[in-house]
Amino acid sequence: MTTQYIKKAEMSATTGEDDTRRIVSEMLTEIETGGEEAAINYGKKLDKWQGDILVSRAAIDAAAAKVPQQLKDDLRFAYDRVRGFAEKQRASIGEFETELSPGLWAGQKLIPVDTAGCYVPGGRYAHVASAIMSIATAKVAGVKNVVACSAPSVERGGVHPAILYTMDLAGADHILALGGVQGIAAMSFGLFTGNKANILVGPGNRFVAEAKRMLFGRVGIDLFAGPTEIAIIADKSADPEVVAVDLVGQAEHGPDSPAWLITTSRDFAEKVMARMPGLIAELPEVQRLAAEGAWRDYGEVVLCDTDEEAATVSDEYAPEHLEIHTDNLDWYVNRLRNYGSLFVGEETTVAFGDKCSGTNHILPTKGAGHYTGGLSVHKYLKIVTTQRMTREANRDVAAVTARISRLEGMEGHARTGDIRLDKYFPDETFDLQP
């Protein structure tokens, strides 16, 4: 392989991790110790919010009145597709019981977690789609209590009205006007609602991601995630303008959002790179500053000799979002192994999946695509096993268990088999030594 980096990132996914961990650790400790008062104080300090934390029905209804009908229709469009996809996911796995040998039955049950904590970013952007992705999917899974949170602002009088409306549409049972680490902590510790989250889900900044990572084990999480990522594999048949626009579209998420181009054409790479500064400059100021930092510090352009080499490089990145703009799409679909969500052909793009096309946009970043997919209805389900058997089945199972246990040096285990053989078959003799 002769991979060449035409543009190499100045920073990596681990940049700034030490400071983030220290800050988040201190905040979690203070909130766990200080409870609701500590969470409220962080809300006052970081979001300047002095209002109610637990959002009332009246506030939700008032927010709904502020949402234009066209936006409500658009949100329903997105909700119907995300929910529909989640329902198909739920139907793809079921409960069963099977007889493995005469008299021995084993099976699996699907039990939803009791409480899910769904984080919906509400800082730089109003991520209404994230509310649908996390809350609606939890409800399809059968989660009884969904606690959602999002950052409030003084200017908006609380949580963004469209986010509130969408949280309610998606089925949230409780909504907290808390963002950041304080919101994650409140859901995890059961503050304001009395319902401790069994699983925490939803995208967020590096502080939110770190809080989830630190709490993992005490609660489940959807996945280890960081700033959003995009990779595009393109060849000379691709449209450089479309590819450049798609890269910029994800770079606007924040100054630490990687955007990677993997191509088999140097001419194509140069055309895309030439367009990036101009497209970024055309964005509004907030988005422009975010995209500038992302492309400057985290953007990469990789030139590969062959399709196989391009696929290998992509699999090494294991990007959160992966677009394919090539003339041999099916080959790449069958070859690629590591990614969060795949967007096949120019006709689809990351933004479609982010907003409304149906697949979930809460996806693995920072290489986690090597071992996990994104949020799905299955994340909210505990797949537990059951077994039952007849006394006759003990003739084989108990004897085998006893012999294997003794081989392992676990005499106590062996005797649980012995006692059943003695009880069920008192007139028989068994060889119970390994």
Residue pLDDT, tens place only, 3-22: 899 989 887 766 667 899 99
Cβ proximity of 11 and 256 under 8 Å: yes
Of 210, 229, 320, 323, which residue is the catalytic one? 320
pLDDT, residue 39, reads 98
Rounded to 10°, the helix 17-47/180-189 angle is 90
User: According to the model, what pLDDT value does residue 7 have?
Assistant: 87
Quote the pLDDT of residue 185.
Answer: 98
pLDDT number for residue 16: 64
Distance CA 402, CA 406 (A): 6
Neighbours of 70 (CB within 10 A): 8
Which residues of the chain carry a pLDDT beneath 50? Answer: none
Annotated active-site residue 320? The verdict is yes
Collapsing DSSP to helix, strand or coil, 218 comes out as coil
Given this model, what pLDDT does residue 124 score? Answer: 66
Class of domain 17-222+378-383: alpha beta
- What's the confidence (pLDDT) of residue 226? 76
Quick one: pLDDT at residue 125? 67
Quickly count: other Cβ atoms within 10 Å of residue 31's Cβ.
Answer: 25
CA distance 188 to 201: 11
Amino acid 227: pLDDT: 85
- Is 321 marked active-site? yes
Q: What is the per-residue pLDDT for 14?
A: 61
The domain 227-373: what is its CATH number? 3.40.50.1980
Residue 2: what pLDDT? 74
Beta strands in 241-298 (DSSP E): 259-263
Sequence ranges of the domains in the chain: 17-222+378-383, 227-373, 390-424
Domains 17-222+378-383 and 227-373 equal at CATH topology level = yes
Residue of 160, 321, 325, 361 marked catalytic:
321
The rounded distance, in Å, linking the Cα atoms of 128 and 163 is 5
